[in-house]
Amino acid sequence: MELQSEIKNLKGIGPKKQAALKKIGVSSIEDLLFLYPRDYEDRRNLKSIDLLKEGENAVICAKIQLIIKSRKNFGKKQILRILVEDSTGAIEIVFFQMTYLEKTLMRDQEYIFFGKIASRNGRLQMIQPDFHIFEGKTENQILPIYPLTLGLTQKELRKWQAAIKPFIAQLNEFLPEEIIKKNRLCSFTYAMMNIHFPQSPQKLKEAKFRLVFNELFLLQTGLMLTKNCLTMQQKGISFSDQINVLDFIRSFPYSLTKAQLRVISEINKDMESSHVMNRLVQGDVGSGKTAVAAVSIFKAVKSGFQVAMMAPTELLAKQHYEGLKEQFNAFNVKVGFLSGSLTEKQKKQVLFELEQGNIQLLIGTHALIQKRVVFKNLGLVITDEQHRFGVNQRTLLTEKGQHPDVLVMTATPIPRTLAIILYGDLDYSVIDEMPPGRKSIETKALSPMQREQAYAFLIAEVKQGRQAYVVAPLIEESETMECQSAVSAFEEFQIKYPQIRAGLLYGTMKQSEKDKIMQAFYERELDILFATVVIEVGINVPNATVMLIENAERFGLAQLHQLRGRVGRGTERSYCLLIADQKNELAKERAKIMAQSNDGFFIAEKDLKLRGPGEFFGMRQHGIPELKIADLGKHIRILETVKKESISILECDPFLKEPDHALLRMKIEKMFENVENIGI
């Protein structure tokens, strides 16, 4: 057996176990070695039940007295309660949606339980613990707890890890000696031994630090390595430095903020240089990204190139088209529009003028990436609300030119510290200032019981001449009574308040229908727009002052923030009402954060902490592989150290071609093998 051998070669692993292991990403011995424990059970600290405290993670050894299965409740969740007892007292243990345990757990049997202690109605409970049969030994150990899946047990994993322990000695050091010394890291093998078989909390800490360092170092070096490759290989367009953008900037009806001007100059520098620009512009909703894009469009067009601007929805594309067409009119720039909603004849006309070079700026939806869209000389590609596009869609668009510059705009803020590290200082700009005079949006969390009040408030605003949004999920996904869908909320509302003009908008509606509704809302023929999250992106109706969100517990923080950004765009005071199940802890926490701040970056930092890095903004889409031990929310300091080390190593050996770095390179390649595309 070797490190690379398939896992089935290990004694005790048949096809069933093999399949289960595969589900948690383990196919080889090596994979198993790198399956890190997700927690530890400190058996040196077995607690007696009478000493348990709310909020702690504790290990107890207790006998099962009673097993009670609750009936299905609304949400189809089945709950299993068991009563356990040791010589000092008894405690209830609760399992959610794990009724199969009913068959596994045995009365009168002693188990070790490891889990969080919570309090309910003044009584302590242990929630969803890990457990295994107590084997009678008074073990004095820190035991690893591995991530499991159906068909695997802790005991098996511990046994297999013990069986492959000898392979740890075969792992080669891949970090340069200097880095290890300078950062006082323990050796790789020591770390691997202690992560699986910790000899003391102190040694476990050293091990974790080393492995977090490893992971972040590989991540950072990998990201920078690709960037080196990309920017060094490609020679791009040098746009003229003779274009006077000041005239254009003066044509705005307002003066640009300092942040907008700074970002514009960052973009200008990139555009004038001969390498390909690959710049991400982040700015909170309403920070004025469009104005920044407009200036770069002006520069490209006046240098003699065409520009493509792609937006994720028809609505948004149209809005950009109408605004920019008017602005560019005074500068003799011809602007075109392309989307699936045009007639064939209209499309042909646009495509013809584009190929001739008459259209200098083409704005549209993903219709822009179709094969038959041909530019004469595409020099700049802009995508708005980047998170809505896949990497491939953007690539298809850039391939319509010869290494055009790329500008990507997003209102999904990545925490500042994190973004600077992940993107380097090179291609990342942030508009961290709002245009003057914006009022903060008052945000309130309400329970479903307060729905009436919420609607009463909304109607009062409408009677004052304002408009409002109501956002809800499209379909009722569960049978719970509380769930409101956009459709049913709309229908109920119409029956109750026939005198108020309401419209309904959702993603799968016919385009022409959507346009009609949206147009009506723009023109104040509708007072209230009921919608699904289709309105999340970019829509600008300054007269709208209330955003009411039903079932807010179903939306993440980033999404809630985006939705809220639809109001507060005019001069009137604006409000965001979140109706959420107040029993849902996560929803409560989110509502609290939303009420606390209007700053997208602050919210992003919190979101990162709440959700953990795995789910955060689709890391993989950003070219970031899944991390096994490091936490991008927690380990910012280590990340900063690591970045310096990565830079110094790549300065000497930009492509890691030296034999000394061969192993490091291999490790990086393995880490990134499942990531679609690296870069922004």
Residue with Cβ nearer Mg ion (129 or 538): 538
285 binds ligand ADP (CB under 6 A): yes
Starting at the edge strand found earlier in the chain, the sheet holding 467-471 runs 442-446, 575-579, 544-549, 467-471, 528-531, 502-505
286 binds ligand ADP (CB under 6 A): yes
What is the C-alpha to C-alpha distance for residues 103 and 150, in angstroms, rounded to an integer?
A: 14
Among 283, 336, 379, 623, binds ligand ADP (CB under 6 A): 283
The single-letter DSSP state of residue 187 is P
Taking the alpha carbons of 382, 385, 386, 388 in that order, is the dihedral positive or negative? negative
287 binds ligand ADP (CB under 6 A): yes
Contact 557, 587 (CB under 8 A): no
Residue with Cβ nearer ligand ADP (113 or 337): 337
540 binds ligand ADP (CB under 6 A): yes
Q: List the single partner that 291 binds among Mg ion, ligand ADP, none, CB under 5 to 8 Å by kind.
A: ligand ADP
Compute φ and ψ for 157, nearest 5 degrees. Answer: -60, -40
Q: List the single partner that 287 binds among ligand ADP, Mg ion, none, CB under 5 to 8 Å by kind.
A: ligand ADP
Among 35, 291, 307, 563, binds ligand ADP (CB under 6 A): 291
257 binds ligand ADP (CB under 6 A): yes
CB of residue 261 vs ligand ADP: minimum separation in angstroms?
9
The single-letter DSSP state of residue 628 is S
Q: With DSSP H G I counted as helix, E B as strand and the rest as coil, what are the percentages for the chain, rounded to 5?
A: 45, 20, 40
User: What is the token pair recorded at 45?
Assistant: 């600290």
CA dihedral 12, 18, 20, 21 (to 10 degrees): 90
User: What is the token pair recorded at 560?
Assistant: 């809630």
Nearest to 461 by CA among 297, 320, 572, 586: 572
411 binds ligand ADP (CB under 6 A): yes
CB of residue 431 vs Mg ion: minimum separation in angstroms?
11
Binding site for Mg ion (CB under 5 A): 538
Residue with Cβ nearer ligand ADP (74 or 254): 254
Residue with Cβ nearer Mg ion (220 or 383): 383
Residue with Cβ nearer ligand ADP (253 or 659): 253
CB of residue 600 vs ligand ADP: minimum separation in angstroms?
10
Residue with Cβ nearer ligand ADP (288 or 404): 288
Nearest to 540 by CA among 513, 577, 560, 568: 568
Which range in 216-224, 285-293, 331-339, 357-365 contacts ligand ADP by CB under 6 A? 285-293
Closest residue to ligand ADP in the complex (CB): 288
Closest residue to Mg ion in the complex (CB): 538
What is the C-alpha to C-alpha distance for residues 622 and 601, in angstroms, rounded to an integer?
A: 17
Residue with Cβ nearer Mg ion (424 or 538): 538
Residue with Cβ nearer ligand ADP (537 or 627): 537
Compute φ and ψ for 115, nearest 5 degrees. Answer: -175, -175
Q: Quote the Cα angle for 153-157-158, to 5°.
A: 115
Compute φ and ψ for 64, nearest 5 degrees. Answer: -80, 125
424 binds ligand ADP (CB under 6 A): no
Q: Which residues bind ligand ADP (CB under 6 A)?
A: 254, 256-257, 260, 283, 285-291, 411, 435, 540
